[in-house]
Amino acid sequence: MFIKGDVYRHGVLVLKDVIVFISTLHGG
């Protein structure tokens, strides 16, 4: 069984990484 809290937390971390990556591409 998946624990929704952990999945949500992981999703947020991935989302932050994606945002930072995109920001770096546009900024650099």
Prediction pTM value: 0.55
Give me the pLDDT at residue 1, please.
61
pLDDT tens-place values along the chain, 28 residues long: 667 889 899 999 999 999 999 999 998 7
Q: Where are the alpha helices (DSSP H) in 1-28?
A: 4-27
**What would you measure as the largest C-alpha separation in the chain, in angstroms?**
42
Paired tokens of 4 = 């929704």
Give me the pLDDT at residue 2, please.
67
